Copies of this chain bind each other. A is one copy, B any other.
């Protein structure tokens, strides 16, 4: 828990959460895990995070039980969210909603509820009135194309079900 000592006087649930996910870059890594990114180099190229920092953040997330290190198809380990990590979806979703409403981002992914095909607004299905878990959500590519050419950005130009491994 990287910020444990610094946030030691902060016992509330929000501070405890930020001990785990409040470090620089960590929530971008978690976002990519929801997108199905699994390999070290794919995170590195997609997010632009320095290798040493990425190693540290992944180790911290594994230690906190948010991420699991699993055998990959190649020689190297891969990473995926645990159930505890997948429960972070409302945090990522709320950050995206705020960014869309407040900051005029270039990219505007859209999210659809798998079970009924309806769009999500602020994380909730317009039809079912539920906030589905990440595993029941498809991310539709942004209409305004991201000019980046890294493999993850290219793979995300197709609709992709959250948490399913991304074919990079």
B13 touches A108 (CB 8 A): yes
Check A92/B14 contact, CB under 8 A, given A48-B6, A84-B102, A148-B9: yes
Residues of B within 8 A of A146 (CB): 11-12
For residue A132, CB closer than 8 A to chain B, the reply is: no
Per the CB 8 Å criterion, the residue count for chain A at the interface is 53
Q: Which of A96-116 contact B (CB under 8 A)?
A: 96-103, 105-109
For residue A22, CB closer than 8 A to chain B, the reply is: yes
Nearest B residue to A31, CB-CB: B14
Q: When chains A and B are docked, how far (Å) is the Cα of A131 from the Cα of B94?
A: 12
Q: When chains A and B are docked, how far (Å) is the Cα of A24 from the Cα of B6?
A: 11
**Pick from B14, B96, B122: contact of A14, CB under 8 Å:** B96
